[in-house]
Amino acid sequence: MSKKQPIEWYRPTPLFLVLKTAAFSGSVMIGGMLTMALGLDMSGRFPEEWRATAVVTGISLVIIGVSYAAFRIWELLHSDHFVLELSNKGISIYEENEETFYPWQSLKKTTLEEKNVVLYINEERIPLAYQFLGISSVNLAERINEQQRKCLLGVHR
């Protein structure tokens, strides 16, 4: 008996969280840059006694912005809160390090409802309320149906 081998897997797109992180860290870095520019301004528009403080504060804000962006994006790319795996034996759904496995024989149909893929497994309705990275919901539903057909016909062992 062959063991379960992954064919393909999908994870939700992190685009919204990456954009939110980029906007926040970019704002902090721009604020730091402007603060540092005030400190370096030698025209006399900024008080002389505060120039060194403004430069140090500006550099600190830029470093904080870069550090925040690097940490949040690293954390985001290393977190797998939800993974959909298509294997030769069935579909596995990983949520918060917990696997739920459904054999291909129990998958009755895969549909698309309101831009979300819905799996009907026996009498259970399982909506996948995510947009997946690199594939549209329409193509994902087609891929699931295609992989199910191939596995049940014995193409993938």
Mean pLDDT of the chain: 88
Domain boundary among 78, 94, 123: 78
Please state the domain count of the chain: 2
Q: Are residues 63 and 108 in the same domain?
A: no
Are 117 and 108 in contact, with CB atoms under 8 Å apart? no
- How much is the average pLDDT of 87-112? 88
Tell me the per-residue pLDDT of 26-36, one tens digit each, with 9 for 90 and over: 999 999 999 99
pLDDT on residue 72:
93
Q: Are residues 88 and 69 in the same domain?
A: no
Range of the domain at 28: 15-78
- How much is the average pLDDT of 56-64? 97
> Given a cut of 90, is residue 24 above it in pLDDT?
yes
Place of tokens 């294997």: 87
Are 113 and 126 in contact, with CB atoms under 8 Å apart? no
Q: Are residues 90 and 70 in the same domain?
A: no
pLDDT on residue 157:
64
Q: Are residues 57 and 87 in the same domain?
A: no
Domain boundary among 78, 108, 125: 78
Please name which of 6, 13, 10, 57 lies closest in space to residue 32, comparing C-alpha atoms. 57
Provide the pLDDT confidence category of residue 123 given band limits of 50, 70 and 90. Answer: confident
Could you tell me which residues come within 8 angstroms of residue 126 by beta carbon, excluding any fewer than 6 positions away? 93, 118, 119, 120
Are 82 and 130 in contact, with CB atoms under 8 Å apart? yes
Domain boundary among 23, 43, 78: 78
The CA distance from 6 to 135, in Å, is 17
Q: Are residues 40 and 91 in the same domain?
A: no
CATH of the domain at 97: 2.30.29.30
> Given a cut of 60, is residue 1 above it in pLDDT?
no
**Residue 1 within a domain:** no
CB-based contacts of 43-48 (< 8 A; 24+ apart in sequence): none
This prediction's pTM: 0.66
